[in-house]
A and B are shown apart, each in its own frame.
Chain A
Amino acid sequence: MRTADLDLVARAQEASSPLDAIEIELIRSGLQSVCEEMAEGLIRSSQSPNIKERRDCSCCLYSRDGEMAVQAEHIPIHLGVMAEAMLHILREFDVAQMQPGDVFLANDPYHGANHLPDFIVAGPLFVGGELVGFAASMAHHTDVGGMAPRSMPADATEIFQEGLRIPPVKLVDRGVLNAGIERIICANSRLPEERRADLGAQIASVTVAQNRIDEMAQKHSATDLHFAIAQIIGLSEKAFRKRLEALPERVWEGLAHADFGGEGIPIRVAVSKKDDRLVVDFTGTGGHTPSPFNSCFSNTLASVYMAVRISIAEGIAANAGLYRLIDVVAPEGTIVNPRYPCAISAATQVSYHTFDAMMTALADIVPELVLAGTGGGGVFSFGGFHPRTDRLFAYGEALGGGSGASAVADGESGMIPPVANLHDTPVEVLETSLPVRIERYELVEGSAGDGKFRGGFGLRRAFRMLAPVRCSFQISMPSNGPSGLYGGEPGRPTHATIEHADGRVQDVKRFTAASVDANSLVTIETAGGGGYGKAAERSPALTAEDELFGYGMRRAAAGRA
């Protein structure tokens, strides 16, 4: 399919273009507005806290060949995965048979999706009966079944334990919902009403896209729209090719240690330029784990795309035009391409490290653009019976940490790592709806890696459980703090404890499932960011400010006085 596309674009570029850079920009601007509109409706009408409060969803448009063309600024990891997932849908369903009003659904990482809670809902877009492209949304659903509330079990060893697998299926046939699929999904979720509402909101977002394309079609023909979409992709490819031409022929090596407790698993990456293509080779990376801490291939691709986008391809509109020129080699059976049926729900936590490995490789090419290692706490989920409603509940959240420092600035504190830009859940929202009390939510003093510029500080979030719950700690970076760059020191690792109701204190040092009684206290202190440059070169003014602000950096301050 990719070769065919290249031919198509080449032909389009050679043909005397009916649309120039002005016309294409006008259509691109309109298409971006479609993506924004889809997401706005989805966020405002969904029921998962993840979508409505944390904005864990993304929308994009594809060419009629299923290549990612236009995206709004949403969740980077989603957008990378969505590029791949669409191609898998088209592998299962014949484009020629598609009709207006069809909508497809998939969530299976072994069919190009991310992890099971991320549903991709996609539909073809038609103008006057002619296919012009596809629209899709991806959203994180709170619970899709499996062995633990919220479908992010810490102790799963196979994907079957993580929830309902949905390969690409046709969810809506010419406007008519396949109620059977919906019922299966709802029956497999601990929160069936929420699933029904969120699925409805995702289907509606595809309808929004078709309605807006209908409006655009009053001013642009199907041929023009198709041509513009092909050009949007082609222009990014051309610009990226130019950047690649400017790079020397060599290999840049990167290394990070994927950390979910115990020994780190090396993620080795060799980035090189070959025939004006970027080759990203993960050969030598450690094997997949008997836990959910594995990154499916599409997630690995997404991490690579994100790293390239903010470095070598900086300023170039991200779409399939970049992806066409990137070859990712990830041997099967490694943590970046696990063998079926490995569990996979913590793929995003692996991607923090995949991204860091890419950063260390790219540091020599664009030292001013990369960041030192960024901290994060992973994902903490819990659920059980809500004593006020006597109904099942499930909740979870990704925890930010200290950002890595850069060549010019300290890292910021308590920030979500780069691959997935999420909001926290306000304490007043959480406590009002669930049997939990947040006793502390603050920075972890002293957790930053020192340096000429230090990392940011991690977060402390303390959960007092008001009902017996089952907890799932997909904890991130508990053994090794995020690494520094150019002599900067690593940040402090993540540290989690359970103070059980009976007084027992349990350290959580790796992925852990635990049942706790009411009144237990779970405290998670997330990793601080890595420093950039040597601490000895830190300016006295910044050091003095850290002391004044009580950041607890414990430097040999006396010597400086």
Chain B
Amino acid sequence: MAHLLAAADVGGTFIDIVLANPVSGETRISKVLHRKGRQGEDIFAALRSLAGEMGATLSDIQSLVVGTTVVTNALLEGQLARTAVLTTEGFRDVLEIARMTRPSSYDLHKRRAPVVSPRNLRFDIPERLDHTGEVLKPLDIEAVDRVVETLRAENVEAVAVSFLYSYVDAAHEKAARERLESLGVPVSISSEVLPVFREYERTAATALNAASIPVMSRFLDGLKQVNDGGIAKTYIMGSAGGCLTFEEAGRFPIKCAMSGPAGGVVGTRELALEHGFKSVLTLDVGGTSSDLAVLHDCEITVTDERVIGGYPVAIASAEIETIGAGGGSIAHIDATGLLKVGPRSAGSEPGPVAYGNGGTQPTVSDAHIALGRIGERSMLGGQFPLDRAAAIAAIEKELAGPLGTNWQRAAHGVLRVTAANIVRAVRAISTERGDDPRKMLLVAFGGAGALHALDVARALSIPQVLVPYYCGVFSAHGIASVDIAYDAQRTWLKQIGTIPADEFAGITGELSGQLIGRIVADGFAEDELASRWQVDLRYVGQSHTITVPLGRADLAGLEDARLRFIAEHRKRYGHASDTAPVELVNLRLKISRQRAEFASLKEAASNSEPRPVATRKIWLDEHNETECPVYSREDLPSGWKATGPLVIEQFDSVTVVGPADEIEVLAGSRAIMVTLAAPVHNTINGNERHELGTS
């Protein structure tokens, strides 16, 4: 019987693959190079070989969840399909005007993202509703037919329709779609992609959705072909923390624009559930960027304010803050003489100086290598030797010289400035939301997450850091058991307290009816589904909303939601009114179907006291080189405790534990809990503080 769970996380450079037995906990991982256009065959080849190691075949795999950057990359690289856009008469240029704003206040030469649809493929159609849904001008269906004729000659690959107030009444959009479907290309309408107010953001999301359907379809077809019935169920990871059937991902590829990063948040949620962590902050540091997110009570926070490649993607996605700080970020001295890190990155070509691929500008990775935090043979089991001397020379020349200091201080400076940049991003998602990071647990993953998390935690007075066992392939591991989720949202502007019960029942019934229709069409039974409502509320007169759960989809539930909103407003902004009128702005519904739970991962082979595999000299602070024991992650048994300084190495990740920091390997997940040494407060001398600030 099919019993194994599989996941693949398709990243920029590598594809991470995980295969797990949820009953025994046995897990296998592999990392293969990402070859464009051959993801499907590479994923299945890797899975076949992992299954073989476990004495199984592809048909033993119950499900495969794929996290993919295919949509993200299409947005970032402008490789979108040739897309036509139909708008309400008088609004042909809504995409080009783009809220009238400049992309930068001070860089007057910075360009907006290219308009998704060129002007000759944008058409305005006579039709108009007002904000209550009243028809001011009926749809001119002949005008739509004329557009269809024009487009026949234009070889468009997709069409988007976005009319004003279609979230109140979608009839015009649906009528237009009916005619446009004769073109034989995918048609997206805004009342299905994003039925919420603000015409630019809604139109952009709809156009981007249409424009990424062809690229997503090719990706899905590729996977289907190589699978050929081997694996029973296949899914695509969505942006909001659930996975989508291929059908749903094909309809709404824009819901997968944050597919990759969402995996890390899902994995963290699993860990938080397993160990009962309340508030968690995640830090995923990769080669060019860092992703951060916050989880409360094992709930993934969701946002509509995502911007990708300069495009607003106002589709619900896990709230992840991304900053340009990664191992490849370049350190430099700016015009005023201060040390800065990023946002420019050496990427994978030429990469850090120590990679010996022609890089000359010191990067964050070079600082780690110079200080001995990453060993010359730490990477990928020693298959990829690093040139430490070159890293030191570059730091001396480019940084220490101009700063008038030694390379050790400059290298530590690079790490501290990197941590400060990450700290600013942490604040944006915690303190700016009224959360206190000192009461949170920091979970670190990604190739370099564990290398920076301890510094970040120290700077924010976060007491503990958790490093998951599979921290290098954490996203893939996280999505293997993720729930299937369908979600929908809709603007419905009403003041709470004035809503008739039957109207509310009508609108919620309509929303859930549409969603359940899609779910049943995809082959699921209604009784295996769990519904979860949320509402976006604000004070009358405000513009921004706060999303709160709606326990029951009725008026009593709305009143509870209003009280929660007031409490949340006070927490975030320090003030709130108990009596000011509150209005409902958007309704959100998520329907999910639970899949599987991982059992505990398999224990380490031996329960005996692990022995260091080596020792390494590390500049733990800028003045002292300290001999540190190096342990292999695989050797560490559950419950093992130790005190730093020490180093833990695994296939694709390194953790440097500072002096007096304490670690414990947690039973079950085998994650390492690092309890940071109590800080020694010092307010006299910057240099002494500095020694405390590094690990």
Contact = CB atoms under 8 A, between A and B. Distances in A.
Contact of A421 (B102, B539, B543): B102
B515 interface: no
B130 A21 contact: no
A120 to B, nearest CB: 18
B200 A426 contact: yes
Interface in A327-374: 369, 371
A369 B94 CA distance: 29
B543 A201 contact: no
B608 interface: no
A549 B100 contact: no
B101 A549 contact: no
Contacts of B335: 239, 315-317
A6 interface: no
Given A76-B105, A431-B130, A441 B198 contact: no
A23 B459 CA distance: 13
Contacts of A310: 106-108
A130 interface: no
A465 interface: no
A548 interface: yes
B493 interface: yes
B100 A36 contact: no
Interface in A416-441: 416, 418, 421-424, 426-429, 431-432, 437-441
A273 B420 CA distance: 38
A317 B96 contact: no
Interface stretch (B215-223, B382-390, B681-689): B681-689
Interface in A1-56: 18-26, 28-30, 32-33, 36-37, 40-41, 43-47, 49, 52-53
B157 to A, nearest CB: 18
Contacts of B493: 432
Contact of B96 (A238, A409, A413): A413
Interface residues of A, number: 91
A49 B337 contact: no
A37 B427 contact: yes
A240 B102 CA distance: 26
B336 A549 contact: no
B118 A549 contact: yes
Contact of B104 (A18, A41, A73, A462): A73
A551 interface: yes
Interface in B554-583: 569, 572-575
A49 B542 CA distance: 8
B670 interface: no
B105 A74 contact: yes
Interface in B480-512: 493
A443 interface: yes
B31 interface: no
A40 to B, nearest CB: 5
A94 B108 CA distance: 40
Interface string B533-544: 000000101111
Nearest to A74: B105
Given A43-B544, A220-B683, A432-B197, A238 B421 contact: no
Interface string A219-230: 111001000000
B420 A25 contact: yes
B93 interface: yes
Contacts of A548: 118, 120
A369 B106 CA distance: 11
A412 B110 CA distance: 10
Given A416-B100, A459-B100, A33 B424 contact: yes
A424 B99 contact: yes
Interface stretch (B51-59, B355-363, B409-417): B409-417
A178 B430 CA distance: 32
Interface string A388-432: 000000000001100100101100111110100111101111011
A107 interface: no
**How many of chain B's residues touch chain A, expressed as a range?**
35 or more
A440 B90 contact: yes
Chain B CB within 10 Å — which of A29, A30, A208, A239 has the most?
A29
A45 B575 contact: yes
B686 A418 contact: no
Interface stretch (A166-174, A192-200, A257-265, A474-482): A192-200
B108 A418 contact: yes
A161 interface: no
A459 B97 contact: yes
B102 A416 contact: yes
A549 to B, nearest CB: 4
Contact of A47 (B108, B120, B423, B541): B541
A14 B101 CA distance: 44
Nearest to B403: A21
B477 to A, nearest CB: 32
Contact of B100 (A20, A32, A369, A424): A424
Contacts of B339: 21-22, 25
A421 B106 CA distance: 9
A309 interface: yes
A44 B572 contact: yes
B686 A224 contact: yes
Contacts of A74: 105
A481 B336 CA distance: 38
Given A201-B573, A426-B200, A30 B420 contact: yes
A218 interface: yes
Contacts of B681: 218
B336 A317 contact: yes
Interface in B115-154: 118-120, 124, 130-131, 136
B77 interface: no
B432 interface: yes
Contacts of A219: 683, 689
Contacts of B136: 437
A416 B417 contact: no
A73 B103 CA distance: 11
A316 B336 CA distance: 6
Contact of B432 (A41, A406, A459, A462): A41
Nearest to B684: A221
B100 A439 contact: no
Chain B CB within 10 Å — which of A49, A73, A427, A550 has the most?
A427
B569 A443 contact: no
A114 interface: no
Chain B CB within 10 Å — which of A76, A201, A414 has the most?
A414
Interface in B404-442: 404-405, 409-410, 413, 416-417, 420-421, 423-424, 427-428, 431-432
B96 to A, nearest CB: 6
B542 A22 contact: no
A416 B431 contact: no
B164 interface: yes
Contacts of A238: 336-337
A23 B98 CA distance: 40
A249 interface: no
B541 A193 contact: yes
27 contacts: A18-B687, A20-B404, A21-B338, A22-B413, A29-B424, A33-B423, A36-B427, A36-B428, A37-B431, A43-B544, A47-B539, A194-B541, A204-B575, A218-B461, A224-B686, A239-B335, A318-B106, A371-B108, A414-B98, A415-B101, A426-B201, A431-B130, A441-B91, A441-B94, A442-B91, A442-B93, A548-B118
Given A47-B539, A441-B97, A442-B93, 18 more contacts: A22-B416, A23-B690, A24-B338, A25-B338, A25-B420, A29-B417, A33-B424, A44-B572, A44-B573, A45-B544, A219-B689, A239-B335, A371-B109, A409-B111, A416-B101, A426-B200, A431-B131, A438-B90
Interface of B: 90-94, 96-102, 104-109, 111-112, 118-120, 124, 130-131, 136, 164-165, 197-201, 333-340, 403-405, 409-410, 413, 416-417, 420-421, 423-424, 427-428, 431-432, 461, 493, 539, 541-544, 569, 572-575, 681, 683-687, 689-690
> Shortest 9 CB-CB distances between A and B: which pairs?
A440-B90, A52-B543, A22-B413, A549-B119, A424-B100, A235-B336, A414-B97, A45-B573, A29-B420
